[in-house]
A and B are shown apart, each in its own frame.
Chain A
Amino acid sequence: MRSPTTHRVAGLLLLMCVAVGMDARAADRLYDDLGGADGVAALVDQFLGNLADDARINHFFAETNLERFRSKLIEHLCALAGGPCTYSGDSMHQVHAGLGIGEAAFNAVVEDLIEAMERRDIGTGTQNRLLALLAPMHGDIVERR
């Protein structure tokens, strides 16, 4: 009894450990997989359309300068994905502090991004790699009470 049990448990643990070590190479070629400059711009346009249509969170953007938002977002995603851009906007903490963004709003924006990626036919693996780069910003954006 002990031996098959130990083996199966070891298998589960191994899977978990491998998973932890694997996200280091996430940025390789992500920019290309997103379709380069055109792909990122098209993704951001689809994403902004989704945000505008999303009654759960569009009030956050009522006073936003959309032109600046669009160009900074493109820059930000391009740089994040390893593309030839430098982000020139403000830090994620500076931009979002004081807006009162909670867990629900953050998740709504993530869903709008996922839907934009689906709409652009971006594959599951590429979607996951981009989300993995964005998820660590959660702490700078969501306000704790």
Chain B
Amino acid sequence: MRQMAGRLLGAVLLLLAGAASAEMPRLPHNSRILATGGATMIEGAAGGGIVPWAVLAGYGSSDEVGASGFYTHVDLKDYSLDAFGVAASWHNRVEVSLARQAFDLGTLGRALGLDDHELRQNILGVKLRLSGDLIYGRWPQVAAGMQYKHNLDFGIPDAVGARHDDDVELYISAAKLWLAGLFERNVFGNLTLRWSRANQGGLLGFGGDRGDGRELLVEGAAGIFLTRHIALGGEYRQQPDKLSFSPQSDWFDAFVAVFPNKHLSLVAAYADLGTVATLPGQRGWYLSLQLAF
């Protein structure tokens, strides 16, 4: 997996170098301003890395459609995560996304002598922009979303006490960009409230021996555009704590996102997921490639 990620990184850097030097032709249906489609978060929704933002995938404006595809690799101390998927948006109003995650149990899998060392899940997402615009107007852009998650490998989650192998999560997000907000640079913020009982984002199932009710969880992101092509930022995602076999930590990341043009973006981040399935100190690199239209 590491080797594959290395080769992917090489290919991406080549692509970026080529794309940055060439003027991209203007395609129809790509009217929104550069970077306003965000990146794709690990669950397939337009966002940052770990938080779904109020922005919609791709660059379709109010009479247009948009689309994106992504691949993300996260390399933690004892685990790794691969995620990929596609998203489409209609009239900058509705976003539909599909994603697959595969979580490699690495150290823990070997320690337990498991044949089955991967936890996979599929995620169907729908996001609806309720009001506002990221850039224009006084109020933030507000969106409501849902994610339906379905575990493909429920053996381990079941054994550690998870109650369900699929579930629906609901969230509401507000995002705003302030032009010349700080040091003459464009600054953005996003606040998301999620109603969920997912263990490690659902990879360890839903609900547990410590409770089966959904909780209201806070997620946030903030960042600054150094130029219109490069943004720096950070994210936070609160987690429920429903399994007694291991505490679950809140998640953090710090990222740099590069948007050479509207069709290609790359996010590199340092993620800190704390304790994951009994193993503490799960920090590591996050790399995500997105194609968008």
Contacts and interface: CB of A to CB of B under 8 A. Distances in A.
A91 interface: no
B31 to A, nearest CB: 4
B13 to A, nearest CB: 24
A129 B26 contact: no
Contacts of A124: 184-185, 226-228
B78 interface: no
Interface string B165-201: 0000000000000111111111101000000000000
Most A C-beta atoms less than 10 A away, residue of B92, B137, B186, B227 = B186
A62 interface: no
A66 B15 CA distance: 41
A23 B178 contact: yes
A103 B92 contact: yes
Contact of B180 (A12, A15, A23): A23
Contacts, number: 100
A102 B137 contact: no
B61 A23 contact: no
Most B C-beta atoms less than 10 A away, residue of A15, A126, A136 = A15
B236 A9 contact: yes
Interface residues of B, number: 37
A26 B62 CA distance: 29
A107 B31 contact: yes
B1 interface: no
Nearest to A5: B250
B252 interface: yes
A65 B121 CA distance: 60
Contact of A19 (B181, B218, B220, B236): B181
A129 B178 contact: no
Interface residues of A, number: 37
Contact of A23 (B62, B179, B227, B234): B179
Interface stretch (A34-42, A81-89, A108-116): A108-116
A26 B249 contact: no
Contacts of B221: 12
A26 B181 CA distance: 9
Contacts of B183: 125
Interface string A109-145: 0110010000000001110110110011011001000
Q: Please list the 3 inter-chain residue pairs (A to B) with the smallest Cβ-Cβ separation, ordered nearest first.
A: A125-B184, A132-B179, A104-B31
Interface of A: 1, 5, 8-9, 11-13, 15-16, 18-20, 22-23, 26, 56, 102-105, 107-108, 110-111, 114, 124-126, 128-129, 131-132, 135-136, 138-139, 142
16 contacts: A15-B222, A19-B178, A22-B178, A23-B180, A102-B62, A103-B31, A103-B61, A103-B63, A124-B184, A124-B227, A125-B183, A128-B179, A128-B186, A131-B179, A138-B136, A139-B137
